[in-house]
Amino acid sequence: MNDDTNADLEQRLRDGLRKSALPTAPDALRQRLARLPSEPHSSRLASVFGGLRLAALASAAAVAIAFVLVVRALPGSSGPGPGASFAGGGPASATGSTAPTPTAAATARPSPSEAFDAPGGVVLTPPFTCDVSSSVIPATTTGVVPLTDVRVGTHLGFDRIVFEFAGSQRPQLTVAMADPPFVGDANGQKVNVAGKEFLSLKLYDASGYPTYTGPDAFSPRYPNLAALVNTGDYEGYVTWIAGLASSRCYRISTLTGPSRIVLDVQAP
């Protein structure tokens, strides 16, 4: 009887505690984690994994020496070090191919100019969580926001699209499932987009003219992001179609300084 009561109570506890989905770690925590390398830690001498354990009596002196070594060994804060960036980082990551770069990213580069975002060196890969329920990022202003850059990149577990804007404001982004055929907003011409699944990414109130001078079509052939094609910059709507090889599982987020909207699609 008592055992039954306990079992029931335990089951009720399990059920009650696990009923809802819980939030992922806030960005601030990931940022904090990413800043840890700028702080001293004991592994430089003790070698976290498989290294020699320091004798307790020597540890105090060793830590002090380690701190000096760390400071000396760390790449300067004024420039990207080898494999410095999760999201790329220009020449450093483009040439940092000795780092454990995901195979797909390494082999899928369509051209050097699109390889900037391939991960090199340290890769912080948040476990990918689909957030397709969030299909809209609201605008921060009622005015027209100039689009200045569009970038694509691939990371372990996801491919990334970044829209960058002038200043601190951002337009609204609406993400929607889409199906071909696609047509240009202004001219009605058919636009071909590679991929099996598609997402429509509509920015409003935004304008790429004259601030955005990049390509109107990307063909990165990343693990999931096959193509990204601009189908319109018309009457405040800037529309891009993302062609995907497989999953339409995505998440969206924003960044500031400068203002950016980021869409990640899950990649195998």
Partner 1 sequence: MLSRVAPTLEQREGDLGTAAAGDAGERFLRLANGELDRAYRLAGMILGDRHEAEDATQDALIRAWRSAGALRDPAGFQAWFDRILVNVCRDRLRRRRRITFVAIDPEADPSTELSTPDRGDPFRAILDRDQVVRAMARVSPDERLVLILHYWADLTLDGVAERLGWPVGTVKSRLHHALNEIRRVVDGPPGGGTR
Restricting to residues 27-86, name those near partner 1 by CB under 8 A: 27-51, 53-54, 73-75, 77, 79-86
Give the chain's end-to-end CA distance (angstroms, integer).
50
Q: Is 95 in the site for partner 1 (CB under 8 A)?
A: no
Q: Is 131 in the site for partner 1 (CB under 8 A)?
A: no
**Do 255 and 262 touch, CB atoms closer than 8 A?**
yes
**Do 156 and 119 touch, CB atoms closer than 8 A?**
yes
> What is the side-by-side strand order in the sheet with 250-255?
206-207, 145-155, 158-165, 260-266, 250-255
Nearer to partner 1, 15 or 179 (CB): 15
For residue 114, give the DSSP letter. G
Site stretch for partner 1 (CB under 8 A), options 167-175, 214-222, 230-238, 242-250:
214-222
Nearer to partner 1, 117 or 197 (CB): 117
3-state secondary structure of 95: helix
What tokens appear for 79 in the block? 């420039």
What residues numbered 183-212 form the site for partner 1, per CB under 8 A?
A: none
Residue 226 beta carbon to partner 1: minimum distance, rounded to whole angstroms? 17
Single residue of 162, 166, 194, 217 touching partner 1 by CB under 8 A: 162
What residues numbered 246-265 form the site for partner 1, per CB under 8 A?
A: 255, 257-258, 260
Residue 215 beta carbon to partner 1: minimum distance, rounded to whole angstroms? 6
Reference 98, options 120, 124, 74; nearest CA is: 120
